Structure 1
Amino acid sequence: MEFLHSILIKPFADMATAPDFLLQVLWEGTVSGTLYALIALGFVLIFKSSRIFNFAQGIMVVFAALTLVGLHENGVPALLAVPITLAVMYVLAMSIERVVLRPLVNQPDIILFMATIGITLFLIGFGEIIFGGENKRMITEELMIPTGSFEFEPFGGFLLIEQKDVTAVVGAVILVLALLMFLNKSKMGRAIRALGDDHQAALSVGISLSTIWVLVWFIAGVVALVTGIAWGARAGVSFALEVIAYKALPVLMLGGLESVSGAIIGGLLIGILEKLFEIYWGQPLLGGNTETWFAYVFALFVLLFRPQGLFGEKIIERV
């Protein structure tokens, strides 16, 4: 009974008696979840338009961040390094479409998926040759990202907030709203949605497959750069960020591969739940380090009861 009490009752009692600490955990989970959602958004955008599961999105986050830092280390001013990095991501998008995707049009999905694994391995090797394998510092001060902290007292509690975390959350919200506006209001955004809904119908009305593919891969590169800056400000910039980026996979399992709102909600859910589990159950009972696997186990548990994810549509096939 005492063991069950320590598992089921005590964590909730701790939450009630330490609201300040609970607020801090929830905030940290929200920040992590926001960044998970951003990475997942890159997967969703590419899958919606091309039905390609882009395994390379994680390394694109690392490559974009390393490009930005590498340019600054070689004397390029930070505010000039950002547009140059965006230009590099556009060239990368064009190269992927021309060299990898265009020759594989109409090939089975598994072939395209394997191609993105090849892109991942190439970018890892290419990145290590250019930037080296050591951890680098994100240029937060040079980008005018505030690095201080301030105290906040909501609901009578106490919360210590890092200014760079606030910047990351605000930047993510602005980026998501801009993407939603682009997808819903612009001509190219509607073309992306049309291509995702019905490839053949979209092509029949003159929508260019190659143009859309370059565009969505470039947008995924923009998302990767924003995510790389935010994660780099928290943990430095290295190829280890690729492992963090794979947290988008359970987010996609929960939210569905085609749902933008699912990616956002799924990311926040994973971020908050993994922090709560780590603090209130993982450290006391399992010795910590549960953040490395909790998201995957939780997503697997959800899929047992809802295989299409929380926001995916049921697929009914009649034979």
Structure 2
Amino acid sequence: MAFFLETLLGGLMAGMLYSLVALGFVLIFKASGVFNFAQGAMVLFGALSMARFSEWIPQWTGVDNLWMANVLAFAMAAVVMFVVAWAVEYLVLRHLVNQEGATLLMATLGIAYFLEGLGQTLFGSSIYKIDIGMPKDPVFILDNFFEGGVLVNKEDFYAALIAAALVTMLSIFFQKTATGRALRAVADDHQAAQSIGIPLNRIWMIVWCVAGIVALVAGMIWGSKLGVQFSLATVALRALPVVILGGLTSVPGAIIGGLIIGVGEKLSEVYLGGFVGGGIEIWFAYVLALGFLLIRPQGLFGEKIIDRV
């Protein structure tokens, strides 16, 4: 039982990180109606910014305190992500208002390749590390209930708490505020939203800025765990099955989908790996997503699209 709980908790903590990345996909899709293939590149760009600024700030300012250096590095990286979001909206999306979804999709692919190249030009192509002070030693909990206790990785636990807090704040913001209602209106119909006075460009700007901050936090956490390298962009794409499972238009779906995928990956690797071979954790989520595409294409919480002719 203790081992099962260890696996379950590990899956839940991994699932919160998946949810954080998936939330960026959902926000962009809700605002523009297009799947943002640049989200992985944004995660990488944010992680590179955080890693390099955390190295440069002690040299520039003489600040030796790790916490203060990380705060300054995060602030500067956030400014960089805001600038990137503004540039994307002003130089690309503003000129593609009311265009076909395929056009916007190709635009995000171009943005992805551009950000990867720009990141390598500005920050270098080496492998960097991010030290945000999270403890990496495991700890045993529930000693009184299970012999030997349940092993929990402290770094994964704190990372999951950070992801859960950010996801909760964003969920409240987009569900309860006027900006959130405007975002939903824009997602339903761009032209109708413009006709009632909702500034489409401003909404897109806000959403891309929020998605940039989400990508920065996700990159910071994944970079702390895995190191900052260009393969980090592909790690972010592991959140694709999450949005398929939860629904492309649902913020709660990104959360629930991430938890399901995280737990499913861990449990399948432990309990099914012996029957189907190793590596099931890598492809389990995609097989599950394929099944949902066949049975319920809109996902668990996605909205059905009905075209009347």
**TM-align CA RMSD:** 1.7
- Superposition TM-score, scaled by structure 2 size: 0.91
Which residue pairs with 1:106 in the alignment?
Answer: 98
Match for residue 135 of structure 2? 146
Q: Which residue is equivalent to 2:31?
A: 49
Aligned-pair CA distance for 1:197: 2.8
Counterpart amino acid of 1:270? I
Give distance in 2, aligned partners of 1:307 and 1:186.
Answer: 29
1:154-179, Cα deviation, whole Å (9 max, x unpaired): 75362222222222111112112211
Per-residue deviation, 1:120: 0.6
Alignment of 1:279-298 (within 5 A): 279-282=270-273, 284-298=274-288
1:79 maps to what in 2?
71
Where does residue 126 of structure 2 map in the other structure?
A: 134
Stretches of structure 2 that go unaligned for 5 or more consecutive residues are: 59-68
Gaps (5+ residues) in structure 1? 1-18
**Superimposed CA distance per residue, residues 96-137 of structure 1 (whole angstroms, 9 cap, x where no aligned partner):** 001111111122110110110001111111112222323221
- Partner of residue 216 from structure 1, selected from 207, 212, 226: 207
AA paired with 2:28?
I
- 1:226-260 residue CA offsets vs partner (Å, 9 max, x unmatched): 11122122211111121221112111111111011
How far off its partner does 1:262 sit? Answer: 0.9
Matched residue type, 1:153: L
Q: Aligned AA for 2:227?
A: G
Instruction: Encode CA deviations 1:258-298: one digit per residue, 9 max, x unaligned.
Output: 0111111111101110111112212x234312222111111
Q: Distance in 2 between matches of 1:211 and 1:263?
A: 24
Contact 1:164 1:233 in 2 (8 A): no
Distance 1:54 1:67, change over 3 A: same
CA contact (8 A) 2:20 2:163 kept: yes
CA drift of 1:28 comes to 1.4
**Aligned 1:153-168 pairs, distance under 5 A:** 153=142, 155-156=145-146, 158-168=149-159
User: Percent of counterpart pairs with the same letter?
Assistant: 51
Provide the rounded CA distance (Å) in 2 between the counterparts of 1:238 and 1:130.
14
Q: Distance in 1 between matches of 2:306 and 2:92?
A: 33
Aligned residues between the structures: 297
- 1:313 is matched with 303
TM-score computed with the length of structure 1 as normaliser: 0.88
Partner of 2:62: none
Cross-structure match for 1:262: 253
Identify which of 33, 50, 53 aligns with 2:15.
33
